[in-house]
């Protein structure tokens, strides 16, 4: 299917509507198969011991799926997460960015469902996985 | 990694230890990347309207992940599911088997985590997805 | 809020629309706070070793939430489960029925969300817990 | 069961080991039935539109369950979240703290499972619910 928003458009959307967190997240790649989002890891994302915190990983998975959906349907600011089930499997490597690979599995009229794998940059084994559901508001006439 | 159980061994394990449901499930394929399990759909798996029931899809995902784990660790009958989060996305096609593609994402000492995509045979869009966690009992001396 | 269906009406609905499984499930109680559903455990619900199988517990949680929603909105046969996250915590006691206590946490126009605790009859510690989301079809004129 | 840590001890633990976020979270109450944790909502927890962000709600649920477990087992810094399934049901009220009510449903040797309801202060309908699993490290000698 044709993408309605490319990486630059998604990044601009994030900067405009989610300015507070936009600096944390960089769209590395988007295509028909899905979207890769980077968490530019900074001090504020860390837990004691230097590992990336659970809420930071959750936020990364959540934003990655959000942008993957927007790449398909265009800039719908009102899509909201209704469910996320996340498994934390390994400690993220210290001092590395985390990359989220999101794919949309269903894009219905009112619900979108997808899943996300999270990797420390350069790693081959996922640090976390998540399944997410978004509610998509009815289109305005 | 080397597989500890191939398709025939998994099928024999199922027949011996889970005789009640073994006829429902056929191991179509197993390799390093994961395992494909077939639900041979019969009357008893259907809901009103002829669609495959949620519990039948849940059982398929659960058994697929179980066998995918056993293919890696060998015949450990005591592994138990501790969590499953499943998203039902589309109605399964009537009159078709359902195929589950399971992959193991983490195989730790005490926990194994993986995910599963379910498809009606011949279909390209998943009818369901699930993430599962299994608890693996400590190895006996 | 006023209930739209009492226990007898729910049981009749189950018998009519889900005849295949209706004998498994008995509505023990329903009120404003939620619904208690009993799985009348029989041979077909058991795993090797005599414990109630995961798919049987899943089905119990799923039907309990479905009926809890119907008790609020009336007989809407087309509500469908979109997500279930279930934690299996303890082995059900052998030879006992399992009771599910379901409560509806949100009843929106298009989505209903709730959770369920499952107990072996007479037990005080839950054998499983689940959170479920149902999609409710738009009301016909 | 006897609590191993009361509210003041839990708060001190948080301040010492999780200094970065300790100011966000206040233990309102803890007893045998569970723990209530308050998110002292500040600008940094908000999404555009003034509502509390999903990652902030996730963090609240996660910390609430963590502290509920510690209240039972004592100060085990190494317990880690392995799974969280969270349903976002309603927008939190603007300008109000969010309260998390956590209860421990299973406290095993290696896994602890519980659930959490989140409310805007003064509200009676939950804004979110979550089920969480923690892995508890083996006890040293």
Q: Which fold has domain A7-135?
A: Thiol Ester Dehydrase; Chain A (3.10.129)
Quick one: A134 exposed, middle or buried, by C-beta within 10 A (0-12, 13-18, 19+)?
buried
CB-based contact C129:B82 (threshold 8 Å)? no
Diameter of chain C measured on Cα atoms = 52
Q: Give the number of other Cβ atoms within 10 Å of residue D40's Cβ.
A: 11
Cβ-nearest to D105 among C105, C106, C126: C126
Alpha-carbon separation of residue C105 from A16, B56, B127, D120, D128 (angstroms): 34, 26, 26, 14, 9
Asked if B133 and D82 come within 8 Å (Cβ–Cβ), the reply is: yes
Sequence-distant (≥ 6) Cβ neighbours of residue B19 within 8 angstroms: none
C-alpha torsion C44→C49→C55→C57, nearest 10: 100
pLDDT digits (tens, 9 = 90+) for A46-76: 887 788 999 999 999 999 999 999 999 998 7
Asked if C85 and A82 come within 8 Å (Cβ–Cβ), the reply is: no
Q: Please, which pLDDT band fits residue A18 given cuts at 50, 70 and 90?
A: confident
Q: Specify the higher pLDDT residue, C139 or C20.
A: C20
Q: In the complex, which subunits touch D with 3 or more CB pairs below 8 angstroms?
A: A, B, C
Alpha helices (runs of H) in chain A, residue ranges in sequence order: 7-17, 19-22, 54-73
C-alpha closest to that of C5 among C27, C20, C22, C24? C27
In the predicted structure, residue B93 carries a pLDDT above the cut 90 = yes
Task: Give the closest-approach CA distance of A112 to chain C in angstroms.
Answer: 11
Q: Which range is least confidently modeled, B68-77, B93-102, C28-37, C90-99?
A: B68-77
Beta partners for B101?
B36, B117
As a three-state string, the secondary structure of C94-140 is CCCCEEEEEEEEEECCCEEEEEEEEEECCCCCCCEEEEEEEECCCCC
What does each of the 141 residues of chain D score in pLDDT, given as a tens digit?
A: 689 999 999 999 999 988 878 899 999 999 999 999 999 999 889 887 788 999 999 999 999 999 999 999 998 767 899 999 999 999 999 889 999 999 999 999 899 999 999 999 999 999 999 999 999 987 643
Residues of D with CB under 8 A from a CB of B: 82-83, 85, 110-111, 133, 135
Mutate to test the interface with B, among D82, D106, D115, D130 (most CBs of B within 10 A): D82
Decide the pairing of beta strands D80-88 and D111-120.
unpaired
Nearest C-alpha in C relative to B43? C20
pLDDT at position D1: 65
pLDDT digits (tens, 9 = 90+) for C22-52: 899 999 999 999 999 999 999 889 887 788 9
pLDDT at position A49: 77
C-alpha closest to that of D129 among D104, D94, D101? D101
Alpha helices (runs of H) in chain B, residue ranges in sequence order: 7-17, 19-22, 54-73
Q: What integer best gives the mean pLDDT of chain C?
A: 93
Percent of chain C with pLDDT over 70: 96
How far apart (Å, rounded) are the C-alpha atoms in residues B48 and B55? 13
Tell me what ipTM this predicted complex has: 0.94
Tell me if residue B128 falls in helix, strand or coil: strand
Q: What integer best gives the mean pLDDT of chain B?
A: 93
Alpha helices (runs of H) in B18-126, residue ranges in sequence order: 19-22, 54-73
Percent of chain C with pLDDT over 90: 79
In the predicted structure, residue B140 carries a pLDDT above the cut 60 = no
Tell me if residue A36 falls in helix, strand or coil: strand
CB-based contact B93:B32 (threshold 8 Å)? no
For residues B1-29, average pLDDT: 91
Q: Please, which pLDDT band fits residue B125 given cuts at 50, 70 and 90?
A: very high
Nearest C-alpha in B relative to D85? B85
Q: Specify the higher pLDDT residue, A141 or B84.
A: B84
Asked if A111 and C82 come within 8 Å (Cβ–Cβ), the reply is: yes
* Dihedral sign of CA atoms D71, D76, D82, D88 in order: positive
Sequence-distant (≥ 6) Cβ neighbours of residue D76 within 8 angstroms: D70, D136, D137
pLDDT at position A104: 97
Domain ranges within chain C, ordered by starting residue = 7-135
Length of chain A: 141
pLDDT at position A141: 39
C-alpha closest to that of C116 among C52, C79, C47, C67? C67
C-alpha torsion B46→B47→B48→B51, nearest 10: -70
pLDDT at position B141: 39
Look up residue B6 and give its two tokens: 């191939």
Nearest C-alpha in A relative to C138? A110
Phi, psi of B71 (to 5 degrees): -60, -20
In the predicted structure, residue C11 carries a pLDDT above the cut 50 = yes
Task: Give the closest-approach CA distance of B70 to chain D in angstroms.
Answer: 21
pLDDT at position A94: 85
CB-based contact C56:C126 (threshold 8 Å)? no
Cβ-nearest to B90 among A106, A125, A126: A106
For residues C98-125, average pLDDT: 97
Asked if D84 and A85 come within 8 Å (Cβ–Cβ), the reply is: yes
Asked if D54 and A20 come within 8 Å (Cβ–Cβ), the reply is: no
pLDDT at position D139: 65
pLDDT digits (tens, 9 = 90+) for B52-90: 999 999 999 999 999 999 999 998 767 899 999 999 999
pLDDT at position B49: 77
């Amino acid at each position: 299917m044709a993408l309605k928003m490319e990486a630059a458009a998604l990044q601009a959307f994030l900067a405009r509507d989610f300015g507070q967190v936009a600096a944390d997240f960089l769209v590395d790649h988007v295509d028909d198969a899905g979207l890769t989002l980077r968490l530019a890891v900074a001090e504020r994302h860390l837990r004691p011991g230097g590992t990336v915190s659970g809420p930071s990983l959750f936020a990364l998975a959540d934003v990655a799926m959000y942008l993957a959906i927007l790449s398909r349907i265009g800039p719908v600011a009102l899509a909201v997460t209704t469910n996320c089930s996340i498994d934390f499997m390994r400690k993220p490597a210290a001092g590395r960015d985390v990359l989220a690979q999101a794919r949309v599995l269903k894009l219905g009229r009112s619900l979108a469902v997808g899943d996300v794998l999270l990797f420390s940059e350069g790693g081959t084994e996922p640090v976390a996985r998540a399944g997410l559901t978004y509610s998509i508001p009815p289109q305005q006439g």
